[in-house]
Amino acid sequence: MAEVLLENLTKCYGSVVAVNRVNLLINDREFFTILGPSGAGKTTVLRLIAGFEKPDEGVIYFDGENVTDLQPFKRRIKMVFQDFALWPHMQVYNRDRYSNLNFGLRIRKWLTEEIEQKVSEVVQRVGIKKELFSRRPGELSEGEKQRVAIGRAITTTPRVFLMDDPMTNLDPQSKLKVRKEIRKLHQDLETTTIYVTHNIPDAMAMSDRIAVMRDGIFEQINTPKNIFQFPKNEFVRDFFESAKVAFEI
């Protein structure tokens, strides 16, 4: 539900330039993926967009509004973290207590009945079974944790939905299904999704456009098909070689 513009965005940690003068326009309702090897700066870009980090330089706009100095909660973004960041001591859902699925709504002072209604909508949408409600994150599989993390993120519809490699620990069979589900969720929510991964087939399967990132810069930004067929340089070509093999099987 928002166009995201990054202008000259830079973030350093000591002598490491994690994000180096990056420019990017992500369209409203686009499924945009930042793809690259570990250490490229992908998570840092997401954290800057979310507002968890302050840039050293540069400006972030949502629909033309400068949000660079806005607190994360004022940006109306939601982020699904790589490790899901569920509350370990809380149950998946308990209508009478703070739990993973109702926490955000309770602190916003929603009524219990409204929350109940919203949670039942969300668990249906992301496929969380009622039997899991009383469990704590330590008692869930990776796939179940992922669903709870996504469910928690969409109890209120975010303007921008940020996902940091939420499929890293899923087995290949689940992956195929989850890719479709994430893509459908993106469409149903009518939101702008920015997805981060090092996994080329995931990026190819879900994205409208991809930015290939390395050492703090975007090497190439285009549609999956276009990057795959016309890699702009040796790095992008080599990076995509491994995926080509997988596609040919």
In the complex with ligand ADP, the residue whose CB is nearer, 132 or 217, is 217
Least Å distance, CB 15 to ligand ADP, is: 10
Which three-class secondary structure string do you get for 94-153?
Answer: CCCCCCCCCHHHHHCCCCHHHHHHHHHHHHHHHCCCHHHCCCCHHHCCHHHHHHHHHHHH
Interacting residue with Mg ion among 43, 102, 155, 220 (CB under 5 A): 43
Q: Does 43 bind ligand ADP (CB under 6 A)?
A: yes
Does 16 contact ligand ADP by CB under 6 A? yes
33 makes contact with Mg ion (CB under 5 A): no
Query: Which candidate, 11, 8, 5, 40, places its Cα nearest to that of 21?
Result: 8
45/148 with CB nearer ligand ADP? 45
According to CB under 6 A, which one of 6, 22, 44, 197 is a site residue for ligand ADP? 44
Near ligand ADP by CB under 6 A: residue from 24, 41, 202, 207: 41
Chain center to CA of 131? 27
Q: Which does 210 bind (CB under 5 to 8 A by kind): Mg ion, ligand ADP, none?
A: none
Q: Which two tokens stand for residue 106?
A: 């309770």
* Site membership for ligand ADP, residue 38 (CB under 6 A): yes
Residue 230 DSSP code: S
CB 93 within 8 A of CB 119: yes
State the number of CA atoms in the 13 A half-sphere of 103 facing the CB: 15
Q: Is 42 in the site for ligand ADP (CB under 6 A)?
A: yes
Residues written for the chain: 249
The single residue among 8, 13, 108, 242 that binds ligand ADP, judged by CB under 6 A, is 13
What residues make contact with ligand ADP under the rule CB under 6 A? 13, 16, 18, 36, 38-44
